[in-house]
Amino acid sequence: MIASRRLRRLSRTAGLFVALGLTAPGVAGAAPGPASEWADGEAWRTRIVSAVTATGTRATLPLGLQVDLHDGWHIYWRSPGEAGLPPSLSVEPGSENVASAAFLWPAPRQSIEQGQLVTRTYSGNVLLPVRLHLEQPGRPATLVAGIDYQVCDQICIPVRVDARLHVPAGTAAPSSHARLVAEAEARVPGLPEAAGFERLDAGFDGVGTVRVTAESLFALDAAPDEITALLEGPEGIFFRSGAATVSADRKMVSVDVEVLPPFDPERIAGADLGITLVTGAANAYRQLVVDGSPAPPSDGMTLGVAFLLALLGGLILNLMPCVLPVLGIKIARLVDAAGQDRATVSASFLATAAGIVTSFGLLALLVAAVRAAGLTAGWGFQFQIPEFIAFLAVIVLLFAAVLAGVCEIRLPVRVSRWLHQAGGDAKGHVGAFAEGAFATILATPCTAPVVGTTVGFALTRGFGDIALVFLGLGLGMAVPWLLVAARPGLLVVLPRPGPWMGRLKLVLALLLLGTAVWLLSVLHAAAGLIPTVLAAGLSGLAVLAFAVRRPERAIPSARAAGVVAVFLAVLVPALVERGPPGEATRAGDPLWLPLDPAAVPGMAADRVVLVDVTAEWCVTCVVNKRLVLDRPPVRRLLEAGEVVGLRGDWTLPNPAIAAYLANHQRLGIPFNAVYGPALPNGEVLPELLSPNAVVEAVERAKRTEVR
Q: CA triplet 396, 491, 480: central angle to 5 degrees?
A: 60
Question: Within a 10 A sphere around the Cβ of 634, how many other Cβ atoms?
Answer: 22
Q: Where are the domains of the chain?
A: 2-181, 197-295, 303-575, 592-702
Please choose, from the candidates 617, 526, 649, the residue with its C-alpha nearest in 3D space to the C-alpha of residue 576: 526
Over 50: is that where the pLDDT of 228 sits?
Answer: yes
Taking the C-alpha atoms of residue 632 and residue 178, their distance in angstroms, rounded to an integer, is 42
* Predicted pLDDT at 241: 93
Taking the C-alpha atoms of residue 333 and residue 311, their distance in angstroms, rounded to an integer, is 23
Query: What does the pLDDT average to over 260-280?
Result: 84
Over 90: is that where the pLDDT of 107 sits?
Answer: yes
* Predicted pLDDT at 559: 53
Q: CA triplet 276, 377, 294: central angle to 5 degrees?
A: 40
Looking at the DSSP bridge assignments, the partners of residue 230 are 276
Pick the CATH number of 2-181 from 2.60.40.1250, 3.40.50.360, 3.40.50.2300, 1.10.240.10: 2.60.40.1250
Q: What is the DSSP string of 648-681?
A: EE-SS--HHHHHHHHHTT--SS-EEEEEETTEEE
Query: What does the pLDDT average to over 72-80?
Result: 95
Over 90: is that where the pLDDT of 63 sits?
Answer: yes
* Predicted pLDDT at 542: 60
Over 80: is that where the pLDDT of 207 sits?
Answer: no
* Phi, psi (rounded to 5 degrees) for 283: -110, 130
Looking at the DSSP bridge assignments, the partners of residue 214 are 200, 253
- Strand, helix or coil at 119? strand
Query: What does the pLDDT average to over 50-66?
Result: 93
> What is the CATH topology of the domain spanning 197-295?
Immunoglobulin-like (2.60.40)
| 275 in Cβ contact with 286 (< 8 Å) | yes
* Predicted pLDDT at 452: 65
pLDDT one-digit tens code per residue, 281-330: 778 888 887 755 433 334 445 777 878 888 888 887 777 655 555 655 66
Between 117 and 492, the higher pLDDT residue: 117
* Predicted pLDDT at 4: 41
Find the range with the poorest average confidence among 92-101, 119-128, 420-429, 588-597. Answer: 420-429
* Phi, psi (rounded to 5 degrees) for 58: -75, 150
pLDDT one-digit tens code per residue, 624-680: 888 999 888 999 999 888 899 999 888 777 777 876 876 676 767 888 999 988 888
CATH number of the structural domain 592-702: 3.40.30.10
Residue 598 neighbours by CB under 8 Å, 6+ apart: 102, 104, 131, 188, 656
Backbone dihedral region for residue 51 (phi beyond 0: left; psi -120 to 50: alpha; all else: beta): alpha
* Predicted pLDDT at 393: 73
Strands 44-50 and 39-40: antiparallel
- Strand, helix or coil at 232? strand
* Phi, psi (rounded to 5 degrees) for 258: -80, 135
* Predicted pLDDT at 428: 59
Taking the C-alpha atoms of residue 81 and residue 260, their distance in angstroms, rounded to an integer, is 11
pLDDT one-digit tens code per residue, 181-195: 988 988 899 888 777
Taking the C-alpha atoms of residue 385 and residue 523, their distance in angstroms, rounded to an integer, is 9
Over 50: is that where the pLDDT of 581 sits?
Answer: no
Q: What is the dihedral angle through the alpha carbons of 487, 489, 491, 492, rounded to the nearest 10 degrees?
A: -160
Over 60: is that where the pLDDT of 577 sits?
Answer: no
Q: What is the mean pLDDT of the chain?
A: 77
Between 17 and 386, the higher pLDDT residue: 386
Residue 705 neighbours by CB under 8 Å, 6+ apart: 678
Taking the C-alpha atoms of residue 337 and residue 335, their distance in angstroms, rounded to an integer, is 5
Taking the C-alpha atoms of residue 609 and residue 675, their distance in angstroms, rounded to an integer, is 5
Taking the C-alpha atoms of residue 465 and residue 479, their distance in angstroms, rounded to an integer, is 21
Query: What does the pLDDT average to over 434-446?
Result: 69
pLDDT one-digit tens code per residue, 523-560: 776 666 666 666 666 666 566 555 554 444 445 555 55
* Predicted pLDDT at 8: 45
Between 615 and 582, the higher pLDDT residue: 615
Taking the C-alpha atoms of residue 516 and residue 389, their distance in angstroms, rounded to an integer, is 10
Taking the C-alpha atoms of residue 512 and residue 399, their distance in angstroms, rounded to an integer, is 7
CA of 160: how far to CAs of 41, 78, 123, 157, 440, in Å? Answer: 10, 17, 18, 10, 59
* Predicted pLDDT at 454: 74
Identical fold for domains 197-295 and 592-702, yes or no, is no
* Predicted pLDDT at 694: 93
pLDDT one-digit tens code per residue, 324-379: 556 556 666 666 666 566 777 788 788 888 888 898 888 888 777 766 554 555 66
Task: Report the share of the chain in percent with pLDDT over 90.
Answer: 25
Query: What does the pLDDT average to over 62-83?
Result: 94
Find the range with the poorest average confidence among 60-74, 156-170, 503-517, 579-593. Answer: 579-593
Band (pLDDT 50/70/90 cuts) for residue 16 is: very low
Question: Within a 10 A sphere around the Cβ of 68, how many other Cβ atoms?
Answer: 17
Strands 592-594 and 643-649: parallel
What is the helix (H) or strand (E) element at residue 169, kind and residue range? none
Cis (ω within 30 of 0) for the bond into 321?
no
Amino acid at 407: C
Amino acid at 690: S
| 125 in Cβ contact with 68 (< 8 Å) | yes
Over 70: is that where the pLDDT of 146 sits?
Answer: yes
Find the range with the poorest average confidence among 5-14, 288-297, 399-408. Answer: 5-14
